[in-house]
């Protein structure tokens, strides 16, 4: 990274990596101040939507030294898109973070069309955004994280053998729920901020029904935002209602799930959700 970026994101390396599926990803790796794997190895915490999230989450690695509430050491691995794909991150994430076969909710289509009418996206950009939702591959992206990226992080940064985490927001939160429901053994805790469970026919509900009698080992922390619950946007109302239903069903099963409501909107809630995850799942 340039000197300027090092000044903004201290102790952060950047590299690009092509997945086995032929997709290019940008990866920011932020280590704790003074990190030395020869003395103490820290687990990895994977943060999704790196192009957007890294600037709001990576600097919070200093929370590990907060004397008022210590956070367990972690190496933050922020995963986004590289090259020409970086400018299209907000639609490419649909391909990677949404479970296979996820129905496209009418409220989501309406929100995308409203964005077009408001001028936030062109007709071509709106169509491309929705097109990515018709062929989604969260399974392939999860395999990239666990089977391709993690071994490189483990090798190059000397991570601990356990204690790894995952945090995602919006569709990243949906990916977090999906990953937790798969029983992926890599992650011991998962933060799902404002999960994009847009429809009552979401594949998340099908996976809930497929769960056996055993409980998941990983801890799950789910957050919602006050203005999603109380505001007048149909897509956020639907997401909140469906996520609450997921939470109720998981609680009834006795799963290791916690939740919190942030006093934010969907756009402003990412950092607050991330902090809530750190304080709930990664406090000393």
Rounded CA separation 123/267 (Å): 22
Bridge partners, residue 29, by sequence: 13, 77
- Residue 247: what pLDDT? 96
List phi, psi (to 5°) of 142: -60, -40
* Residue found by looking up tokens 């990596």 in the block: 17
Whether residue 264 contacts residue 53, with contact meaning beta carbons closer than 8 Å, is answered with no
- The answer on pLDDT for 52 being more than 60 is yes
- Give CA–CA dist 163/122, Å, rounded: 43
Say what the pLDDT of residue 69 is.
85
Cα distances from 15 to residues 118, 137, 157, 160, 202, in angstroms, run 36, 23, 13, 21, 34
Cα 235 off chain centre by: 19
Q: Is 71 helix (H, G, I), strand (E, B) or coil?
A: strand
**Alpha-carbon gap, residue 81 to 93, rounded angstroms:** 9
Strands 75-81 and 24-30: what pairing?
Answer: antiparallel
- Find out whether 269 and 262 touch, Cβ atoms under 8 Å: yes
Which tokens in the block code for residue 217? 């080992």
Stated pTM of the model:
0.95
Task: Report the pLDDT value the prediction gives residue 174, as an integer from 0 to 100.
Answer: 98
Query: pLDDT by residue (tens digit) across 204-213?
Result: 999 999 988 8
Residues 89, 84: Cα–Cα separation, whole Å: 10
The mean pLDDT value for 59-63 works out to 91
Tens digits of residue pLDDT in 116-138: 999 989 999 999 999 999 999 99
| Res 94 pLDDT > 60 | yes
pLDDT at residue 6 is higher than 70 = no
- Residue 38 is predicted with a pLDDT of 87
**Which domain range does residue 56 map to?**
3-281
Total tally of structural domains belonging to the chain: 1
Q: In sequence order, what are the residues at sequence separation of 6 or more whose Cβ sits closer than 8 angstroms to the Cβ of residue 212?
A: none
3-class SS at 79? strand
Average pLDDT over residues 220-229: 97
pLDDT score for 157:
95
| 165 close to 281: Cβ distance less than 8 angstroms | yes
Burial class (CB in 10 A: 0-12, 13-18, 19+), 50: buried
Q: Does pLDDT of 101 surpass 80?
A: yes
Q: In this structure, what CATH number is given to the domain that contains residue 74?
A: 3.40.50.1820
């Amino acid at each position: 990274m340039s000197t300027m970026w090092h000044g903004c994101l201290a102790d952060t390396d950047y590299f690009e990596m092509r997945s086995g599926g032929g997709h290019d990803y940008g990866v920011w790796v932020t280590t704790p101040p003074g990190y030395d794997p020869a003395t103490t190895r820290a687990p990895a915490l994977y943060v999704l939507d790196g192009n957007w999230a890294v600037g709001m989450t990576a600097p919070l690695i200093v929370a590990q030294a907060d004397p008022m509430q210590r956070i367990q050491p972690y190496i933050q691995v922020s995963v986004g898109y590289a090259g020409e794909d970086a400018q299209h991150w907000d639609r490419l994430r649909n391909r990677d973070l949404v479970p296979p076969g996820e129905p496209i909710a009418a409220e989501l289509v309406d929100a995308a069309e409203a964005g077009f009418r408001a001028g936030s996206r062109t007709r071509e950009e709106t169509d491309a955004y929705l097109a990515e939702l018709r062929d989604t591959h969260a399974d392939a992206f999860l395999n990239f994280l666990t089977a391709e990226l993690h071994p490189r992080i483990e090798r190059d940064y000397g991570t601990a053998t356990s204690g790894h985490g995952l945090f995602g927001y919006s569709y990243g939160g949906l990916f977090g729920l999906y990953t937790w429901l798969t029983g992926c053994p890599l992650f011991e805790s998962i933060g799902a901020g404002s999960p994009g469970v847009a429809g009552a026919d979401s594949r998340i509900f099908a996976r809930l029904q497929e769960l056996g009698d055993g409980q998941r080992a990983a801890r799950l922390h789910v957050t919602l935002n006050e203005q999603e619950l109380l505001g007048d946007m149909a897509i956020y109302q639907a997401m909140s209602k469906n996520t609450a239903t997921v939470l109720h069903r998981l609680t009834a099963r006795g799963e290791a799930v916690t939740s919190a409501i942030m006093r934010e909107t969907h756009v402003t809630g990412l950092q607050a959700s991330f902090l809530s995850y750190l304080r709930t799942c990664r406090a000393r």
